[in-house]
């Protein structure tokens, strides 16, 4: 992937929080606890929704797939972040960096589309309940999940190729927690205007458009809920939707700020902190948001614990 007569670097250095040398052990412990919570919490959701037949519905089918993606998503970045907290060698190979960025983008884009699928499921369930079983069939749900993956595979492969086709000269230090597009473009010694346009278009298609669809869906859902005669029905509907909206706000909000705002070298430290929201904070809170505020999930979990 070398370009012109420039020399391609054999690897990069992930700076992370290396400037805070005295807090590396503390960061390691915090990230390790968060990673274990993510694996355990999302793993429980996957197994409970698989084992309990009462949860074999479209909503929990999408939730199970979302939890699986969250486990994979954090596993792309967090193990390397943990290793860098303790190791003096913070290198990552050229191929390893490319692979990390590709799977990070692929899984992040897949999550964007899964959140849209979940919003559509809630829209049909609340706004068109009589047609729900006819609309949200198992075949339709499987196609929506498969489409979330298949649409992202070629697009993010192309994005990764465009970035790693650039010549990297001078400093090979990535001022970020993991290999991502904006900090890598800062290392290139050629004009990256074309890459930045591609990033902006991809962010509009894979983040802004899904986010707007979710917002429009929930505006229609809110109107329908407010027209419900039953107070208990309104409360149950709002409770179901509020969990999804919380995750949407955390994930899309931080992601759009990082990828859509103008870049500068001074903004990189801010991007590090914001990236923690959509890489580890959202996956960590997902199990609590969807389990503690969901009576069906709590019932299924206690039923499984009691059976064991």
pLDDT in tens, 41-80: 999 999 989 988 888 999 999 999 999 999 999 999 999 9
Task: Using pLDDT thresholds of 50, 70 and 90, give the confidence band for residue 140.
Answer: very high
Q: Is the pLDDT of residue 9 over 60?
A: no
Could you give the 3-state DSSP secondary structure of residue 121?
helix
Let me know: does 105 contact 179? Beta carbons within 8 Å.
no
Give the pLDDT confidence score for residue 3 in this predicted structure.
Answer: 42
Between CA 279 and CA 277 the distance in angstroms is: 6
Give the mean pLDDT of the chain.
84
Give 100's pLDDT tier (boundaries 50, 70, 90): very high
User: Do residues 152 and 106 make contact, with C-beta atoms less than 8 angstroms apart?
Assistant: yes
Does an H or E element contain 174, and which? strand 173-174
pLDDT digit string, tens, across residues 74-97: 999 999 988 888 776 678 899 999
pTM for this predicted structure: 0.87
The C-alpha atoms of residue 168 and residue 192 are separated, in whole angstroms, by 11
Contacts of 151 by beta carbon, 8 Å cutoff, 6+ apart: 109, 113
Q: Is the pLDDT of residue 207 over 50?
A: yes
Q: What angle do CA 153, 203, 92 make, to 5 degrees?
A: 60
Give the C-alpha separation, 279 to 299, whole Å. Answer: 29
Residues 215-262 have pLDDT tens digits of: 899 889 888 888 887 777 777 777 777 777 878 888 887 777 777 776
Q: Is the dihedral of CA 230, 214, 76, 187 positive or negative?
A: negative
pLDDT in tens, 170-203: 678 888 889 988 888 888 888 888 888 888 888 8
Give the chain's domains with CATH numbers.
Answer: 11-307 (1.20.1070.10)
As a whole number, mean pLDDT of residues 19-25 equals 75
Helix (H, G, I), strand (E, B) or coil at 190: coil
């Amino acid at each position: 992937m070398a370009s012109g007569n420039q020399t391609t670097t054999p690897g990069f250095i992930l700076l992370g929080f290396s400037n805070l040398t005295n807090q590396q052990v503390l960061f390691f412990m915090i990230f390790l606890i968060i990673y274990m919570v993510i694996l355990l919490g999302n793993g429980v959701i996957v197994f409970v929704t698989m084992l309990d037949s009462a949860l074999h519905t479209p909503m929990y089918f999408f939730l199970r797939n979302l939890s699986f993606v969250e486990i994979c998503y954090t596993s792309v970045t967090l193990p390397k972040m943990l290793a860098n907290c303790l190791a003096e060698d913070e290198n990552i190979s050229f191929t390893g960096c490319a692979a990390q960025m590709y799977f990070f983008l692929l899984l992040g884009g897949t999550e964007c589309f899964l959140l849209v699928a979940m919003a559509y499921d809630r829209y049909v369930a609340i706004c068109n309940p009589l047609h729900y079983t006819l609309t949200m069939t198992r075949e339709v749900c499987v196609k929506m999940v498969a489409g979330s993956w298949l649409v992202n595979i070629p697009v993010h492969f192309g994005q990764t190729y465009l970035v790693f086709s650039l010549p990297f000269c001078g400093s090979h230090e990535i001022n970020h927690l993991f290999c991502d597009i904006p900090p890598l473009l800062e290392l290139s010694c050629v004009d990256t205007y074309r890459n930045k346009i591609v990033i902006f278009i991809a962010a509009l298609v894979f983040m802004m458009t899904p986010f707007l669809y979710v917002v429009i869906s929930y505006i229609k859902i809110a109107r329908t809920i407010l027209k419900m005669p039953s107070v208990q029905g309104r409360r149950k509907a709002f409770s179901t939707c509020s969990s999804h909206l919380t995750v949407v706000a955390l994930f899309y909000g931080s992601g759009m700020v990082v990828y859509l705002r103008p870049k500068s070298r001074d903004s990189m430290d801010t991007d590090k902190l914001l990236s923690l929201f959509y890489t580890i904070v959202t996956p960590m809170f997902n199990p609590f948001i969807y389990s503690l505020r969901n009576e069906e999930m709590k019932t299924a979990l206690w039923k499984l614990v009691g059976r064991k």
